[in-house]
Structures are given as structure tokens and as C-alpha cells.
Amino acid sequence: MEIIKSIHDMQSKMMQWKQSGKSIGFVPTMGYLHEGHQQLMKKARQENDIVVTSIFVNPLQFGPDEDYERYPRDEVHDTDIAKKEQVDILFYPHVNEMYPKDQTIRMTVHQRVDVLCGKSRPGHFDGVVTILAKLFNIVYPDYVYLGLKDAQQVAVVDALIQDYNFPIKLRPIATVREQDGLAKSSRNVNLSDQERIEAPYIYQALLHGQKLMQAGEQDAEVIIKEVSHFIHTHTHGKIDYVDLLSYPELERVNHINEQVILAVAVYFKHARLIDNVVLDQQGSFATAIV
Amino acid sequence: MEIIKSIHDMQSKMMQWKQSGKSIGFVPTMGYLHEGHQQLMKKARQENDIVVTSIFVNPLQFGPDEDYERYPRDEVHDTDIAKKEQVDILFYPHVNEMYPKDQTIRMTVHQRVDVLCGKSRPGHFDGVVTILAKLFNIVYPDYVYLGLKDAQQVAVVDALIQDYNFPIKLRPIATVREQDGLAKSSRNVNLSDQERIEAPYIYQALLHGQKLMQAGEQDAEVIIKEVSHFIHTHTHGKIDYVDLLSYPELERVNHINEQVILAVAVYFKHARLIDNVVLDQQGSFATAIV
């Protein structure tokens, strides 16, 4: 595995691969790699000649109250993980390399952002699309791998690729789960023993909503209420949101007649957990996603 | 010459050239091609294996008071010109192909725009960078050719390429002039006979400013006043602006100690003429530009 820190070196390297007709799979990350990232790398490895991972903690996507400085970093661990997953090139730029000065030209996201987790993180996705537009122009990927755990991010990156005609295919990868269905997350270690027993009911609640849709329920409000009730009944968590929106547009739907996302965020004492399912009109798990 | 109207066809075509290692020169235009465009095409033809021209009247760069619908179009003439200049591919998309829906993600330009012609065209350059970002992702150019007549556009596109790491080199091409120095423009035909005699003094005024710099004058205000006075003395035109700014940053300079642009816009009865020179600190014509 080669570690590259300069944009210039990266671009000349990648252009060589591109010109030799190799397919390039790209896994952009902020480091502190875990099993979710590894899943993306494995998928990229299966589907491409060349796998590139980037590690860059992007200051632009942190809000003023979010602690960019304290975001965890572990270069040795991350390098080991990337090697283990047979990544070919690890792009690991310094912040001054990516942002030598303030951007003269800014990107801002005007749809798909004022809902779900984006609602409480104004400007977050502006930072996400800015860094990804830059990385796409440095890595020249054919395929980009993102986890569906953050389905809103997938929806926004879908818009970036469409709006700016990037010659890239987005590959959203299914959320990795524990045996009992709990979505894997580095935050799960912050759950108490009792909370860890209750947490799988979040996914059960989503599946309950799915069953309602499969049984013919088409009223979004009814499903949202039922899912919320299910979580209240089976956990001591405090619901941040339960929502059902069109996907990937993330617009409000009343009568369900298109692909939707059913998404939840629940506060436990020391962990906020999120989860979602993307479903077609009949309530089956969506296969195409974007 | 091949005429392509679909983004998909364009991308597959261009990726083939790219993979075969051909260099790609790109001349983006809004059509109604004239000698200025031809100069860009000639330069692109000299320097590249493949020359691509696009013709697209971009609604996003027209203000509400600017007449997008009435912008002149002439497909037959333009196709002839492009053929004559040995363009390989003419990309000629319909507006619905480039903007199938409103952009979810917008680009806005925050520096280099509130001066010169940009001052009176708010949002204009937002539209310019949006369409160019899209076109860059469709054409994959190695070199992009723009006329220095619109030096502010060159400065903004320079920022686009820098900020978003497009693997593209910008080639600003010197303004084409008549024998008497008047910058060529399709607007020159709107000058009266007397105005046509006076108009070359605009360029003479810029050269007068240059001479002052070469003689050691470093105070921007003095040069601006002298150039304005020169235009007043030799023409009946009404000055819109005379300005001297750092280039390509387009920031105000008091004491000249870097590359600058000396730029003017003058109203005649039925034509607004613009012109500029980019000069190094000593007043010599700049060679590197960006």
C-alpha cells in the first residue's frame, strides 16, 4: 500500500491508472476506521482494479459547536486497517494541502438537508460536498462507496454527482449489524448493560414499520406514530426523531407512493443512536437506492 | 467534426480519448462565434490532440434584467466556424440536458466578483462557475481556453480550478485587436463613425497607464486618474469604470507591488466597450497571467 500526501502526486498517480483503463473504487473517510469502513473497503476491493481510501478530517463539515480539534485520530491503527483490507493507495493529506486558503467559491446544499440529522447541523453538508468535489477531482474514481447508515449523506452525495455530472457511480453499502440487529457503531460501547439490551428494538421498530407498509398501510403519519410507540414501549431511550421521507429526495410524503426512508435517532444516556431502512412503495427493502 | 448533444455520449467519447493518452483542449462558448472564439480554437488546435468546443447559452449566468431568451443564436454559422477551425467535437446540449431540474447544490463566488463588470451583474459568475464545473466533468479537458478580454472571468475560473482541484490548466488568450489597437468586439459595429475614430483611444489610455508604471509610478489612484483623464480628453465616451486591481485576486491595491490589471469600461451611444491590460509590477505585459 502506498501512502500519498500531496494532491499533485495523487493526481499524476491516478491519471496513470485511469489511462491504463483500470477501474478505481474510492472510500472517502475521516479516519478512525472501524468495521463499517472495512465493509466499504471490502466491497470496493471486490469490484475494482484499484482501491483508494482517503483519510481527512474535514474542518468545513464541523459546526462551531462541534469539536474539530478533538475528533479522534489514529494514523497507525488506520494504516494497519487499510493495509489489511488491501487498499492500494491511502490518500492522507494535511489540512493545508486541501485548504491552502479560504475557498473563493463555495458550495451550498439547498435540498435534502433540513431534515433528519441535517436539521441540527446547519452547514454540515456544505462542507461534505465541498471536500468530496475536491476529492473526486483528485482521485478520479469510477465508484464511490458510502455507508447507508448515514443515508442522508448518501442522498446529498447523489445530488452532488447528478448536479455536477461527475462521471462516478455511487455505491451505497448496507448497514452492518450485530447478530441481534443493532446497527454497528463506535457509540454502542457507551451504552449501559440495560441500554444494550434495549437498543436492538430500534431496528425492530423499523421492521415493525416495514411490516405495516407491507400490510398495506400507506399513511406516513400512521407509520411514524406506530414506530415511535414501539420504541417508547420497548426502550428507555428518548426519541430525537422518527421520520418517513421520500428517498433520495428526502421530501415529506403523506400518502406513500414511491421509494422512502424510515429513519430514527434515539438518545440513550451517553449515546445517540441512528438507524434507517430504505423501502420501496410496497415495503420491500429497496435494491437500487439511488 | 462530430456534433454531440447528450452528456452520456460525450462522457463515453471523451473517456476514450483520455484513456488513449490524447491531450484535450476545450473552448467553452455561448455560441454566436466570432474572431475572438476562433483565436481560442486556433490556439487549442495548436496545443492539443483533440479540440472540443461547447455551445450552450447558460440561463444561470443571466440576471433577471438580462435577456436570456433574446441572446443571439446561429447554429448553422457556428457549426461552420467550428468546422473551419478544425474542432473535433462540438458539444451542443439542450438546456434540459444540462439542467434537468433545479440544482440541489449551488456554487457561489465570494471574491473577485464585486468589482469591474461583475459589480453590476450580481450572481453572473455563480452561473459561470456552475456551468463550467459541469462542463469540466463532461469534457475532461487538459487545457481550457478563455479570452483575456473578459479578464474577470479568467480570474474567477482560475479560482474554480484552484479551489476544486480540477486537473486542468487554464490558458488565457490575449485580446485580439484591430490594426489601430481597438479590441475586437461584436459591439464595435454599433459605434458611429466618429465614435469608431475615438474608440482606439481606450487602448491608448491603457498604454498611457502602462507607461506611467514603467516610469516608476506606483500609486494606483494616480494611474486611475491619469487614464480616466486620457479617455475624457480623447473621446466623447462616458466612463463606467477605470480600475487598477491585483490580478487574479482582483483586490484593491494602493501601492503597486504585484501583478495588476488595469481595466476600463466606456459607454458610447449604442455600445459599451471594455478593455484591459495585465501588467507585472514594473509595468511590463504579464506573461504568466494565472
Does residue B115 sit in the same domain as residue B255? no
Query: A209 near A198, Cβ under 8 Å?
Result: no
Q: What is the mean pLDDT of residues A236-249?
A: 97
What is the total count of domains within chain B?
2
A156: chain B residues, CB-CB within 8 Å: 104-105
Rg of chain A taking only CA atoms, in angstroms: 19
Chain B residues with beta carbon closer than 8 angstroms to that of A129: 105
**For residues B206 and B231, what is the distance between their CA atoms, to the nearest angstrom?**
9
| B16 and B153 belong to one structural domain | yes
State which amino acid sits at residue B232: H
pLDDT for residue A8 is more than 90? yes
Please indicate, yes or no, whether residues A209 and A145 belong to a single structural domain of this protein. Answer: no
Q: A276, A262 in Cβ contact below 8 A?
A: yes
* B225 Cβ neighbours under 8 A, 6+ residues apart: none
Quick check: is A288 in a domain? no
- Please tell me the predicted confidence (pLDDT) of residue B67: 84
Nearest to A51 by CA among A93, A16, A83: A83
Residues of A in contact with B20 (CB under 8 A): 19
Which positions of B are annotated as active-site residues?
A: 37
> Domain end: A173, A197, A231, which one?
A173
Nearest-angstrom CA–CA distance, A71 and A269: 21
Q: What element of type H or E holds A76? A: helix A75-84
Flag whether A152 is in a domain: yes
ipTM of predicted assembly, 2 dp: 0.94
Question: Does B56 share its domain with B163?
Answer: yes
- From A19, A138, A165, residue closest to B134, measured CB to CB: A165
Same domain, B26 and B97: yes
Q: How confident is the model at residue A289 (pLDDT cuts 50, 70, 90)?
A: confident
**End-of-domain residue from the set A129, A144, A173:** A173
Q: Are A238 and A267 in contact, with CB atoms under 8 Å apart?
A: yes
Name the helix (H) or strand (E) containing A277.
Answer: strand A272-279
Residue A105 and residue B163: Cβ atoms within 8 Å?
Answer: yes
**Binding region of B for ATP:** 30-37, 147-150, 176, 184-187
Q: Does A105 contact B167 at a Cβ distance shorter than 8 Å?
A: no
Interface contact A137-B165, CB threshold 8 A: yes
pLDDT over threshold 90, residue A186: no
**What's phi and psi for A36, nearest 5 deg?**
-60, -50
The CATH number of the domain where B66 resides is what? 3.40.50.620
**Residue-level pLDDT at A31:** 94
Beta bridge partners of A241: A265
Residue A133: pLDDT over 90: yes
- Consecutive 10-residue averages of pLDDT for chain B (290 residues): 98 95 97 94 98 97 89 95 98 98 97 95 96 98 97 98 98 96 91 97 98 97 98 97 98 95 97 96 91
B250 sits in the region (left: phi over 0; alpha: psi -120 to 50; else beta) called left
Nearest alpha-carbon partner for B78 in B31, B111, B38, B110? B31
Identify whether the C-beta of residue A188 lies closer than 8 Å to the C-beta of residue A258. no
Write the DSSP string, chain B: -EEE--HHHHHHHHHHHHHTT--EEEEEE-SS--HHHHHHHHHHHHH-SEEEEEE---GGGS-TTS-STTS---HHHHHHHHHHTT-SEEE---HHHH-SS--SEEEEE-SS-SSGGGGGSTTHHHHHHHHHHHHHHHH--SEEEEEGGGHHHHHHHHHHHHHTT-S-EEEEEPPPB-TTSPBP-GGGGGS-HHHHHHTHHHHHHHHHHHHHHHTT--BHHHHHHHHHHHHHHH---EEEEEEEEETTT--B-SB--S-EEEEEEEE-SS-EEEEEEEE-TTSSBPSS--
Q: What pLDDT does A115 receive?
A: 97
- Residue B37 CB contacts under 8 Å (≥ 6 apart), including other chains: B27, B29, B53, B81, B147
- Band of pLDDT at residue A65, cut at 50, 70 and 90: confident
Say if the Cβ atoms of A159 and B133 lie within 8 Å.
no
The CATH number of the domain holding residue A267 is: 3.30.1300.10
> Using a CB-CB distance cutoff of 8 angstroms, which residues of chain A are in contact with residue B15?
167
Cα B137–Cα B143–Cα B147 angle in degrees, nearest 5: 105
**Does one domain contain both A9 and A54?**
yes
Shortest distance, CA B159 to any CA of chain A (angstroms): 6
Domain membership flag for residue A45:
yes
Domain shared by B123 and B228, yes or no:
no
Give the three-class secondary structure for A151. Answer: helix
Grid coordinates in use for B210?
502602462
User: Is residue B290 included in any domain, yes or no?
Assistant: no
The C-alpha angle A286, A32, A60, rounded to 5 degrees, equals 80
Domain end residue (candidates: B141, B173, B205): B173
Q: From the CB of residue B184, how many other CB atoms can be counted at a distance below 10 Å? A: 16
| pLDDT at residue A193 greater than cutoff 90 | yes
Question: Whose CA is closest to A166, among B140, B94, B58, B13?
Answer: B140
Same-domain pairing of A120 and A154: yes
A89 and A54 in a common domain: yes
How confident is the model over A63-69, as a mean pLDDT? 87
Report yes or no on B219 lying in a domain.
Answer: yes
Q: Which residues of B are annotated as a binding site?
A: 30-37, 61, 147-150, 153, 176, 184-187
Give the residue numbers spanning the domain of B103: 2-173
Shared-domain flag, residues B95 and B217 = no
Residue whose entry in the numeric block shows the C-alpha cell 415511535: A228
* Nearest CB to A167 within list B105, B137, B163: B137
User: Best residue in B4, B22, B24, B163 to probe A by mutation, most A CBs within 10 Å?
Assistant: B163
Provide the pLDDT for residue A205.
98
CB contact under 8 A, A159 and B21: no
Whether residues B138 and B79 fall in one domain: yes
Task: Work out the average pLDDT over A104-127.
Answer: 96
Residue B288 inside a domain? The answer is no
Mean pLDDT of A210-232: 97
Identity of residue B36? G
Is the alpha carbon torsion for B67, B69, B75, B79 positive or negative? Answer: positive
Using a CB–CB cut-off of 8 Å, the residues of A that contact B are 7, 11, 15, 18-21, 103-112, 129, 133-134, 137-138, 156, 159-160, 162-167
**Cis (ω within 30 of 0) for the bond into B248?**
yes
pLDDT value at position B290? 86
More reliable by pLDDT, A288 or B177 = B177
Which chain B residues are Cβ-neighbours of A165 within 8 angstroms?
7, 11, 134, 137-138
Residue A287 in domain = no
- Assess whether B79 and B158 both reside in one domain: yes
Flag whether A252 is marked binding: no
